[in-house]
Chain A
Amino acid sequence: MISTHQLPTPRLEEWRWADMGALRAAADAEPRDFGIKPADLFLDMEGPRLLFVDGMFEPAHSRPGPVTIARFAPETPHPLGSMAEGEGWALTLDTGAAVTGIQIVHLGSGGESHVPARIMLAEDAVASVVETYAGSGWANRITQMTLAHGARLMRSVRLLQPDGFVSIRDEAEIGEAASLVSVFLGAGGMGSRIDGALTLIGKGGFAEMGGALLTSGTQKQEAAVSVRHEAIEGTSRQLWRAVAANRSVVSLAARVEVARGAQQTDGGQSLRGLLLDRGATVNLKPELEIFADDVKCAHGATVGELDRGALFYLQSRGVPEARAKALLTRAFVADAVSRIGEEAVRAAFEADAERWLEKGL
């Protein structure tokens, strides 16, 4: 059981929008059976599959391939991430190795579950991982990633739990000419907190973390990501889209730090919020901290409603109002999801977003 004093409080600036009450309620909730078949949560793709039910590895529904299962306690200063100890998974790839289409499904029935993960890619190794969160309860995860020279990792994470809470902590060290792209889609009914700390430690690295968080009712989702450039010629992108309906809240904090000497850094931040109802809230907090003088850091943060002109234009061509709103909202989140490289995965995420729109509007 979690004790109250372990959780961060909103008095800390980094946690001012966090909904730890929802997290605690999810952890304390009685187990429920949603009747979800684990097989339905995997995409129809070749590649390794791992199922965790309430944080425990389920070999019967898994074919882990090169992914190993082990118990470990990650070292991290992060208050939630440090709780994610116990049975977890690890992917270690040698120089030049490639494993794509790895799927990790987290199915919860209630209560709390903690799973650590580690991804270590040697020189020029390539991997892609898709994670799906379903069911109920509090799912707490940490993923620590190390990318050596020229390694490439694509992560796609979808949060589809109908209730409960998902907290995710990502930590990555990105080496020379290595590339990490992480795309998140929050399209369930749960609360969420997505934390990221990405560090570019080698020349010419690429780091991207972004996605779309869709909320309705009184739901709260948030992401707090920090990208630190420690080496020259690094590129980073944080592209987040927030869609809030009813009285829900989405909060996005995105930070770029450019260390002294990290010249020719190219940092990009795009935070955009769409309010579907007057009672909805989107909080955006872009931050730049730059200690080098030859850098390019483009940033934009906007919140607004659906464009009334565009809405009438669609209606005037015969599209009913609800459908027109869904189309415009889908278009609003499209560029976040379009960052996913694999077509089957991108299509699945688009379908998840579409389902949310059909239901949420």
Chain B
Amino acid sequence: MLDIQDLRAEIAGKEILKGLSLRVNAGEVHAIMGPNGAGKSTLGYVLGGRPGYTPTGGSVTFAGADLLEMDPHARAAAGLFLGFQYPVEIPGISNVQFLREALNSQRRARGEAPLSGGEFLKLARAQADALGMDQEMLKRPVNVGFSGGEKKRNEMVQMGILGPKLAILDETDSGLDIDALKAVGEGINRIMRAPDKAVLLITHYQRLLDYVQPDFVHVLDAGRITRTGGPELAHQLEREGYGVAA
């Protein structure tokens, strides 16, 4: 589904990713762990197409297409979802407006008919319920005044509504209390654990991995994958730190 070959990328002229290769097949959950500054968030943003995160070498193929050639919105329409470490507050646009606009933009790009207001609300309410998010929050401006946990739940509600093929979740566990962590973990399993879907979890700690069992764990250090293993590698890293594993 996702094939990254020797990816290099820079921010403001500084090389952050230095030849990263990774292959994610449908049905798999991969965790990328690593110390601060290793390039974990940069990887997410480069795959999402954020301006300022410039690929300088290598290739990324997603669902058979050259991902790096696509505009950010086209990547979303192709089935890529980027969960933000710090979801952005947008005053003046309600969650419902935002998500309906997003979903229907994606549907139009794929040649599908847009959902009506009623159809969309039904879908949005079901996803909010499943994540334990208050229905009232759907009417509120996007993430404005939300707590850290509420913002992350909102990311998962968005993921549920948009139904991506591949979710890249950047530090989705940061700032979560234990209830929110459990809800988010269950959300990821419910929405993304399917034979035709895949997940790339970017995380500093292994605690989310108690709820979402990865098939593969990778260590990202200084812009490269330095080690790959099974779920047991996450526990080892938690015990021994990144210095030992790398």
Contacts and interface: CB of A to CB of B under 8 A. Distances in A.
Given A318-B73, A319-B101, A313 B109 contact: no
B88 A327 contact: no
B73 A320 contact: yes
A22 interface: no
A94 B82 CA distance: 62
Interface string A321-359: 101100110111011000000000000000000000000
Contacts of B91: 331
B172 interface: no
Interface residues of A, number: 23
A316 B72 contact: yes
A328 B73 contact: no
Contacts of B73: 315-321, 324
A291 interface: no
Given A323-B101, A331-B92, 19 more contacts: A312-B48, A312-B51, A313-B88, A314-B98, A315-B71, A315-B72, A316-B50, A316-B72, A316-B73, A316-B75, A317-B99, A318-B105, A320-B71, A328-B90, A328-B92, A330-B92, A331-B90, A332-B92, A334-B92
A310 B90 contact: yes
Contacts of B50: 312, 316
A314 B71 contact: no
B98 A335 contact: no
Nearest to B99: A317
B93 A316 contact: no
A318 B76 contact: yes
Interface of A: 307-310, 312-321, 323-324, 327-328, 330-332, 334-335
26 contacts: A308-B51, A309-B88, A310-B88, A313-B84, A313-B90, A314-B98, A315-B49, A315-B71, A315-B72, A316-B72, A316-B75, A316-B76, A317-B73, A317-B76, A318-B76, A318-B162, A320-B71, A320-B73, A320-B105, A321-B71, A324-B73, A327-B98, A328-B93, A331-B91, A331-B93, A334-B92
Contacts of B49: 315-316
A335 B141 CA distance: 12
B203 interface: no
Nearest to B143: A313
A323 B98 CA distance: 11
Contacts of A310: 88-90
B67 to A, nearest CB: 13
A228 B88 CA distance: 39
Contacts of A315: 49, 71-73, 76
Contact of A317 (B51, B89, B98, B109): B98
A20 to B, nearest CB: 35
Interface string B69-112: 00111011100001010011111110001110111011001000
Nearest to A317: B102
B209 to A, nearest CB: 24
Given A312-B72, A313-B84, A314-B98, A319 B90 contact: no
Nearest to B72: A315
Interface of B: 48-51, 71-73, 75-77, 82, 84, 87-93, 97-99, 101-103, 105-106, 109, 158, 162
B98 A316 contact: no
Contacts of B92: 328, 330-332, 334-335
A335 B73 CA distance: 27
B87 to A, nearest CB: 7
A313 B243 CA distance: 34
B77 A318 contact: yes
Contact of B93 (A308, A327, A335): A327
A317 B158 contact: yes
Contacts of A332: 92
Contacts of B51: 308, 312
A264 B95 CA distance: 38
B105 A319 contact: yes
Nearest to A320: B73
A327 B90 CA distance: 10
Contacts of B102: 314, 317-319
B142 to A, nearest CB: 8
A320 B109 CA distance: 10
- Between A317, A324, A327, the greatest number of chain B beta carbons within 10 A of the residue's beta carbon is seen for A317
Q: Which 4 A-B pairs have the closest CB atoms?
A: A331-B92, A318-B76, A317-B102, A318-B106
A324 B97 CA distance: 12
A324 B102 CA distance: 10
A332 to B, nearest CB: 7
A339 B71 CA distance: 37
A276 B177 CA distance: 40
Nearest to B141: A331
Contacts of B98: 314, 317, 327
A161 to B, nearest CB: 27
Contact of A313 (B87, B97, B103, B106): B87
B71 A317 contact: no
A327 B102 CA distance: 11
A312 B71 CA distance: 11
